[in-house]
Amino acid sequence: MSATVRCFILTFSALCGSTVVSGILSRPTNVHLTSFNMDLVLRWSPPAGAASSLVYTAEYNTTVIPYSVACVNISTLECDFTRLNTSIHPSIVEYGKYTGRVRALLGSESSAWVESNHITLDKDTIIGSPNISLFSNGATIEVSIKDPVFAVSSLRNVYISATYNISYWKDGQKEKAKHISNVQQNRVVLSDLDPRTKYCVQVQINTESNPHPSKPSGVVCASTTREDAPWVAAVLTFVLMAVGVALVVVLVVYRESISVFFCPKDALPQHFKEYLLAPPNSTIYLAMRNSHPPKEVYHQISILADHRTEEEGCPLEAARTTCSKQPDISVGGG
């Protein structure tokens, strides 16, 4: 094979195995801007045959500001613009209109920019499902609704006139569901229910500015209990009050008798009194009581100081031996 043919084959193989075409990378595909619960995320697909070391840079703009760099040299296939609200990036606002774009980079090579669709955040965002809780009370069920958390602001700040659509049905009979529309309160009591019956509830959010309702909430079920007639509660209250008044009257009228009954004043039996008041007859006790203290014996002691000196015939050194042997203490018997 000639050198010219081999060179042609190598050149053709290199061009087919690379995303570089005439020194420019192939562009990302499927570029689209999305929003869920007021976030703003640009997503895309890699070029066909993209190298593993390919990276991307993404930007966004509004109708009043030019493109601002958001994500630089990232390897992921998405860029969340709502996480970039810093002093160097324009803030994402609830009512802004946005466009995103992205390009691929490989070393010193870069592809052309690919722009996304346009999004008006409050009108195009997908609203997530609310959370609901059920509280059963007799033959009624209270529905408590909690709005989804938005990445920007809150649902009630963006959609001031948002309302709820509530659907409820007996367990296993969803085809016979009842509906309550345009509810503004986040706590609703379902009262037209059968006692001792299990009901299931589902809620959706509606807004005026966003043409699409929220995703429906999960289905939550709860059972009603027995239904007490209103007169039953009234009768029980009256009976309890009457019993309370009667007890108070009895305590006041018979307080002395009740006091004697609970704290009786029993007299001590006579034989106990005689036993306790009788004088002791123990011989040991009598001997101890009648005994006199023994007479103390003692001797009187007088201590006399030694005034003799060396001139009187008793040297000081000798005083420790000879003179000390001389008695100088007189003891007299007492």
On whether both 119 and 19 belong to a single domain, the answer is yes
Per-residue confidence band for 134, with pLDDT thresholds at 50, 70 and 90:
very high
CA distance 263 to 261: 6
**In this structure, what CATH number is given to the domain that contains residue 170?**
2.60.40.10
Opening angle at CA 107, ends 106 and 113, nearest 5: 45
Residues 296 and 327 in one domain: yes
Assign 194 to helix, strand or coil. coil
Q: Do 98 and 137 belong together in one domain?
A: no
Within a domain: 2: no
Which residue did the predictor score with more confidence, 327 or 178?
178
Kindly state whether residue 236 falls inside one of the protein's structural domains: yes
Task: Tell me: do 102 and 160 sit in the same domain.
Answer: no
Does a structural domain hold residue 143? Answer: yes
Whether 165 contacts 222, CB under 8 Å: no
Question: What is the residue-wise DSSP string for 169-210?
Answer: EETT-GGG-EEEEEE--SEEEE-S--TT-EEEEEEEEE-SSS
The model's pLDDT over 78-113, given as tens digits with 9 standing for 90+, comes to 999 988 755 556 678 899 999 999 999 998 899 999
Q: Are residues 213 and 237 in the same domain?
A: no
Distance CA 40, CA 79 (A): 9
The single-letter code of the amino acid at 90 is P
Domain end position, chosen among 124, 142, 168: 124
Question: Do 28 and 120 belong to one domain?
Answer: yes
124, 149, 173: which is the final residue of a domain? 124
Residue 268 counted as domain residue: no
Judgement on whether residues 141 and 81 belong to the same structural domain of the protein: no
pLDDT tens for each residue of 161-184: 999 999 999 999 999 999 999 999
| Residue 226 identity (one-letter amino acid) | R
Are residues 183 and 149 both part of a single domain? yes
Span 115-129, average pLDDT: 96
Among 143-157, 175-189, 197-211, 318-332, whose mean pLDDT is lowest? 318-332
Distance, CA of 293 to chain centre: 81
Shared domain for 53 and 136, answered yes or no, is no
Entry pTM? 0.60
Q: Which residue has the higher pLDDT, 8 or 243?
A: 243
Task: Provide the residue range defining the domain that includes 235.
Answer: 230-262
Q: Which of 124, 157, 189 is the last residue of a domain?
A: 124
CB 252 within 8 A of CB 164: no
Q: What is the mean pLDDT of residues 277-291?
A: 70
Residue position matching structure tokens 């958390």:
149
Same domain, 219 and 234: no
Q: Is residue 42 part of a domain?
A: yes
pLDDT computed for residue 22 by the predictor: 37
For residues 18 and 117, state if they share a domain. yes
Q: If residue 235 lies in a helix (H) or strand (E), which one and from where to where?
A: helix 230-253
The reply to whether 18 and 91 lie within a common domain is yes
Number of structural domains found in the chain = 4
Helix or strand or coil: residue 119? strand
In three-state secondary structure terms, 285 is helix
Domain annotation covers residue 9: no
332 in a domain, yes or no? yes
The two structure tokens encoding residue 161: 């006139």
Q: Is 245 among the domain residues?
A: yes
Check residues 40 and 311 and name the one with the higher pLDDT.
40
| pLDDT tier, 302 (very low <50, low <70, confident <90, very high otherwise) | confident
